[in-house]
Amino acid sequence: MSGVALALEVVVVFFLALFLLHRYGDFRKQHRMVLFATLLAWFLCFLIVFILPLDVSTVRPPACVETRVKGVVPLLSYSQSLVPKICQKPWSYIPDGILPVFWRVVYWTSQFLTWLLIPFMQSYARSGGFSISGKIKTALIENAIYYGTYLLIFCSLLIYVAVTPKLHLSWSGLRTIGITAANTWGLFLLVLLLGYGLVEIPRTYWRASCHGQLLAKTYFKAAKLMTEKADAEENLEDVMEDVRTVNETIKYNHPLRKCIDTILKKCPVEYQEKMGRNMDDYEDFDDKGNPYPSKKSLVKLHKQVIYAVQRHNRTQVQWQILLDKAFHLEDVAKNESSSTHKFVHSFPSAEPPGWISKYLYTPTVEWYWECVFRRWCYRVLAVVLCVFSAAVVWSECTFFSTQPVLSLFAVFIQLAERDYNYVYIEMACFVTIFFLCYCVYSTVFRIRVFNYYYLAPHHQTDAYSLQFSGMLFCRLTPPLCLNFLGVIHMDSTISHQTRQPTAYTSIMGSMQVLSFIANGFYIYYPMLIVLLCIATYFSLGTRCLNLLGFQQFVGENDLTSDLVDEGRELIRRGTTDTGPSFKLSSVLYRSDKAELLQDVEPLDFTGEEPLETDNRRSVSLYL
């Protein structure tokens, strides 16, 4: 079984990353380099999380014979009897020498992606130029400032080490300084995201069990999305008018005509047809002496077209999906009082039911699941997640204490060590780090920073946001893993215990090169999670955004109530407008939505940058 667990997890993680990329990206229309870089970044980060429990179990002693030697303390608490005891290898034991090489390849590849390749590709993607050389030039200029900032931070740490008499510079020391600087940056953001996720994730599942509140929030989202949808349509019309003007100004024999053709390819088909009919192939470009736009203005227009089209298509698809959700929640509310205990849809599908709907998921089963069992499953899950969150908060605040051991996760691992229960060690480690990653990664997927960064499902995420998420994952995962090892007392730098280190911590080097970070920042900064959890519980961030004019769903609030009523009316009108078509054939509705999903033009590798003049953006955390 040696190495089988490692190979199996590599395959599982690859398909998990591929599934998520298919959900958020578009394999047909986005550039292959964008998809490859994002897939590689997600794959490497998920791989670190899945393989680390195997690394923890591998440091347990392999097959060995215990010999009680006076004055020698064994690594683990072996049996107190003097009879030799055979220690079996764990089923997932990985031979010596494999994990150190594996971690070096995975870690340094992810760091190359997050600090060098992906930032360059982001600048290249949003440059909006018409030639490869122009995009590269723009990317180099932008990243020169970007890399200079990191070089300044690294030089500051280097000067600190140089002026400290007790420290001696070496290649391994310089490498450790670089790793420490990267992990420190990641830990800043990690604590913020983790503090939010530890509270918001259990609360989200609890609220999902309350159909009334969930439906009200859906109405609220409908009102906001309709505003964004109307704004996107208006913006698209304005941009298409600018395109029409330059299209009529620059004729086919003008040197910049190739740029216009590139812009036209990004326009919706109906606009392309209208502009094509208004062109005169035989009109000379300089007969009228009209002023011509510069290439720089065409580059800006190109970026505006891509952004306007992508935003318009995204809001159209999101509106159809939100209608589906609202109709379903309204059906649940209507069927809760049903005496027949059979779920009835307001817009039943015209397609014949499959064998699953016919024999397994019958209307009776659907009623019991949607109206009875589902809410209780969500509530039980919310309670379990609350317990996990409380354990994480307690452990983050007490993991520095080794005598006595106060971290709950460290206690669980040490109890398993006494019996050499490797399966329990791996499962406990996996559940713990999986929950930490779920809190952090789900927040990355939920958060929205204006229209600048937004991970939208159903193939609606632009290239810049995909790459930005990959860059965030690569920066958050290493400090997250080190924090996890500290919580279970497997990092000797934090626990100050003499024990065999994991292969992962061995490639990180000794953090004692920068003792003020190892003994101070890494230990006490995670305690800030308590304050962040309190702020999230009372929705302080949401209330502040609401006061600043960014509408948020805040319980009992006049503005929230008005938007809920507005959204309810919009859904009602949507039901009235689309009702007959649903009653005649819901296939038409489904095919329209599928067509929108296929016709969406996401931001491609030629790039796009959100318009800086758009002042109607919103900052929100979507639950």
- Residue-wise pLDDT tens digits, 18-31: 999 999 998 888 88
- Minimum mean pLDDT among 110-124, 260-274, 504-518: which range? 504-518
Q: Does 578 fall in a domain?
A: no
Of 148 and 586, more confident: 148
**Best CA proximity match to 621, nearest among 571, 568, 554:** 554
User: CA 517 to CA 524: how far, in whole Å?
Assistant: 10
Q: Does 230 fall in a domain?
A: no
Give the H/E segment covering residue 86: strand 86-87
User: CA 536 to CA 149: how far, in whole Å?
Assistant: 32
Residue 264 pLDDT > 60, yes or no? yes
**Best CA proximity match to 460, nearest among 239, 225, 291, 112:** 225
Average pLDDT over residues 522-536: 87
For a pLDDT cut of 90, what percent of the chain falls above it?
A: 29
Average pLDDT over residues 511-523: 62
Residue 69: the pLDDT is: 39
Provide the residue count of the chain: 623
Residue 496 pLDDT > 80, yes or no? no
Residue 254: the pLDDT is: 81
Domain of residue 478 covers 1-126+170-209+338-538
Residue 494: the pLDDT is: 65
Q: Does 217 fall in a domain?
A: no
Q: Does 108 fall in a domain?
A: yes
Name the band, by pLDDT with cuts 50, 70 and 90, for residue 520.
low
Q: Does 324 fall in a domain?
A: no
Residue 518 pLDDT > 70, yes or no? no
Residue 563 pLDDT > 50, yes or no? yes
Residue 11 pLDDT > 50, yes or no? yes
Our count of domains for the chain comes to: 1
Give the H/E segment covering residue 453: strand 453-454
User: CA 193 to CA 537: how far, in whole Å?
Assistant: 14
Q: Does 530 fall in a domain?
A: yes
Of 493 and 361, more confident: 361
| pTM confidence score | 0.80
Gyration radius of the chain over CA positions:
29
